[in-house]
Structures are given as C-alpha cells and as structure tokens.
C-alpha cells in the first residue's frame, strides 16, 4: 500500500501517555502528538480543509496563488497541499517568528514576506493587512484567512475530535489545547461535547493576549495586549473560530514557564516539540493538580515539532539571554 501524495498522510496521529512531567497529578495524562503530520504540525489538517472547501466553492481555481498570514505552521500545511495540487504560495509572517520557520517555508517553494510584530492588526504593515492587500492585487488568488475561516474549526470537528474519542475509547474527561486561531480547540471541543457534554475544555493562553479576560468578563481590553515571545498562541484580535461557549476555562502561561516545560518534554518524555506545546502542558498540569482525580483522563494537543525552534528555546545562549536559564 502506498499514498498517492504527501497530503494523504495527514491525520491519525498517536496519543502518547505522559509519565514524567505530570508530577503531582493523579489523572491519566495523554498527549495528541501532532508533529506526526507530514508538515510536522496540527495545522496540516485545517490547511488542507480550507483549500478543499475553496476549490468546491470555486474561489480557488487551477494555477491560483494562496496568500496567507501565518506564524509558520499553517503556511507549511498550505504549502504541502499547494505542491500536491499545483498552486503557488505567498506567506506573510511577523518578524518575531523563528528563522527556521521562514527557511522551511522557502524550502517548500513559498515566497515569504516578513512584517513587523509591534504594530496593530489594522496597521497597513501588519502581516494581516499585507496578506489582505496582496489578495486584492494578485489575480486568481485565495486568502484563506485561518482566523475567520470556519473550515478551520470544521477540520478538527471531523478529524481530530473523532480520533481522540476513539483513541481514549470514550474515557476522556478533560481536553486542553493552546488557543490562537481557535480552530483546534473549538472543533475538537464541539465534537467531544456532543459525545459527552460533561467533558471540560481548557484553553491555554499567554500573557499579552486578550482571550482569558474576554472569556471571564466579556470585555475586549486593549490594556491586556503587549508583546510576548511564545509563538502560535494568544491573539490581539477575536477570531471567528474562537467560540468561547466551547471553552470552559482559560489559563495563562508565561513565556519562560512554557519554554522550560518544552525542554522538559524533550528531555524527560522524548517528545521534541515546539514552544506552545510547553504552554499547553504547563497550563494543563496546573489545572490537573487542582481539579483532576485518578478517575479522570486528560488529552493535551501538542501542536508542532521542535525543529521550528532550534535557534530559540533549544539554544542555551538564547535561553540565557532571555533570562530563562540561569
């Protein structure tokens, strides 16, 4: 048996028990390891779905150009699908993203435009605005807009959610994931809650992001917004894919705690994962120590692979310069 192209390898990623970083936790803690997707991240799932839905709707036509603002992983998923289907790709990224992510995207044939991080989302130079402008200027182009494109949530409702339910034989009681575009957590949460409404969904946020306060107060507080280093989670906007009714609680995790937990996952669990994976596990363990019993089973989504962060969290000099290592 063989696959006809690389995108047929997307999905059916393993669930792996965490044994070492779970100190003080009585529950069974399982990690959904998404770097087993061919683009090494969870975003392969929704990237393919956004392209397929655009093709069906007649928005994306043969020979077209896919233009997207990405922190790297969605771009990789889109690029692999584009190779299999014959499209060109242009990606805008903020300058805080790792150089590895930019190099990887260029390696798979994408054009990458780097934009400043410290501007508002509606500023003409922001990576959101530049992507939108290019979409208007370039004929036969498609702007997936992963933040507001509900195909993002649908991909996880139809693939990740059913996989987790089946892999845990319906024993899952709690589910945790970082929140960026919101598609992963909301798609999975929607599916799981339909199977068992008692399942709790825990969203992991970062300091400098608006999600937690908005969930708790309904207030979009611009004073909550400031620069943070963690890549791939948190936002200074409210994406349409974030359905707050599907997320029961939010926990914020610092850049340092996330980076150190990411390193622990590599060293103690053999899971060479990305930065936001550390955020997810650190925050989920805080929640688990307080709320979970030996009768509970928690699944945590680990979104991507450590190769995206070699010059940052896996580099001792960089970690020391940030004050994360003594």
Q: Which residues are catalytic?
A: 43
Beginning with the edge strand found earlier in the chain, give each strand of the sheet holding 65-69 in spatial order. Answer: 111-115, 88-94, 65-69, 141-142
Token pair of 211 as six digits: 């999600």
Contact indicator for 277, 304 with CB cutoff of 8 Å: yes
Return the H-helix or E-strand segment holding 17: strand 15-17
Nearest-angstrom CA–CA distance, 96 and 75: 16
β-partners of residue 298 are 29, 174
| Residue 101: closest CA among 129, 79, 130, 123 | 79
Q: Which residues contact 156 (CB under 8 A, 6 or more apart)?
A: 45, 46, 183, 184, 186, 187, 188, 191
Q: Count the alpha carbons within 13 Å of 325 in the hemisphere toward its beta carbon.
A: 15
Residues 282-317: b if buried by 16+ CB within 10 A, e if exposed: bbbbbbbeeebeeebbbbbbbbbbbebbeebbbeee
Dmax of the chain from CA atoms?
Answer: 57
């Amino acid at each position: 048996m063989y696959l006809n192209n690389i995108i047929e390898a997307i999905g059916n990623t393993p669930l792996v028990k965490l044994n070492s970083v779970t100190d003080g936790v009585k529950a069974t803690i399982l990690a959904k390891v998404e770097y087993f997707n061919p683009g090494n991240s969870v975003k392969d799932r929704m990237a393919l779905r956004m392209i397929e839905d655009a093709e069906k709707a007649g928005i994306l036509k043969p020979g077209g150009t896919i233009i997207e603002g990405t922190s790297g992983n969605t771009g990789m998923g889109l690029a692999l699908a584009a190779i299999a289907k014959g499209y060109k790709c242009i990606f805008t990224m903020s300058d805080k993203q790792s150089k590895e992510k930019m190099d990887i995207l260029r390696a798979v044939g994408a054009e990458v435009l780097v934009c400043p991080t410290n501007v508002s989302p509606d500023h003409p130079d922001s990576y959101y605005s530049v992507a939108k402008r290019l979409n208007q200027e370039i004929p036969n182009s498609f702007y997936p807009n992963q933040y507001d494109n509900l195909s993002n949530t649908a991909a996880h409702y139809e693939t990740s959610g059913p996989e987790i339910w089946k892999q845990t034989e319906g024993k899952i009681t709690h589910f945790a994931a970082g929140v960026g575009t919101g598609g992963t957590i909301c798609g999975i949460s929607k599916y799981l809650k339909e199977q068992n409404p008692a399942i709790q969904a825990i969203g992991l946020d970062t300091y400098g992001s608006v999600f937690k306060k908005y969930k708790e107060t309904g207030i979009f507080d611009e004073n909550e917004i400031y620069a943070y280093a963690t890549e791939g989670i948190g936002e200074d906007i409210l994406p349409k894919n974030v359905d707050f009714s599907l997320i029961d609680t939010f926990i914020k995790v610092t850049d340092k705690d996330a980076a150190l937990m990411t390193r622990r996952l590599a060293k103690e669990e053999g899971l060479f994962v990305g930065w936001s994976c550390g955020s997810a596990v650190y925050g989920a363990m805080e929640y688990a120590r307080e709320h979970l019993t030996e009768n509970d089973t928690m699944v945590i989504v680990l979104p991507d692979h450590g190769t995206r962060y070699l010059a940052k969290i896996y580099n001792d000099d960089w970690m020391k310069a940030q004050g994360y290592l003594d």
